[in-house]
Amino acid sequence: MRIAVAADERTGVARDLAERLRERGHEPVLHGALDEEDRDDWAWCAEAAARDVAEGRAEQAVVCCWTGTGASIAANKVAGIRAALCADAATAEGARRWNDANVLALSLRTTSDAQLAEILDAWFAAAPSAEADDVANVEHLGDIERRGS
């Protein structure tokens, strides 16, 4: 699977994220500080990764900044994106299952290498729920997006 990857710094788990994805059989598409020709500010690089997903150049994305919050907010501004800030495996699994999240946001400050492995394992092992109420909630997100502010 093609995974867009963005980080505003080459620190913490950002240093090894692309390799961790390759080890799992994915093809990373790099943005921000991970690509020397890209703008590395969190809002710009997270948007670029999210647009890869929204426009079909990648199936999912992983976006990172110091807290993960800014990267998740920026990604969620792109139509069709459901970014989830995940600090543990259970949250990552739930975000995929119940929210059909297509962008994983991570904190460069708090995510350890061990947590990264657990989060990625849970994220990629989970599939979106087919339960009627879960599907309805995700569809409603699209309705909210189409209505705008």
Residue type for position 64 = C
**Would you call 65 a catalytic residue per the annotation?**
yes
Assigned token pair, 37: 């020709």
Q: Chain centroid to CA 24: how far? A: 16
Q: Is the dihedral of CA 134, 80, 35, 72 positive or negative?
A: negative
Distances 52 to 45, 76, 114 between C-alpha atoms, Å: 11, 13, 27
Per DSSP, 32 falls in state E
**Catalytic-role residue among 45, 64, 65, 86:** 65
Cα–Cα dist 37/19, whole Å: 19
Contact 5, 35 (CB under 8 A): no
Tell me which residues are annotated as active site.
Answer: 65
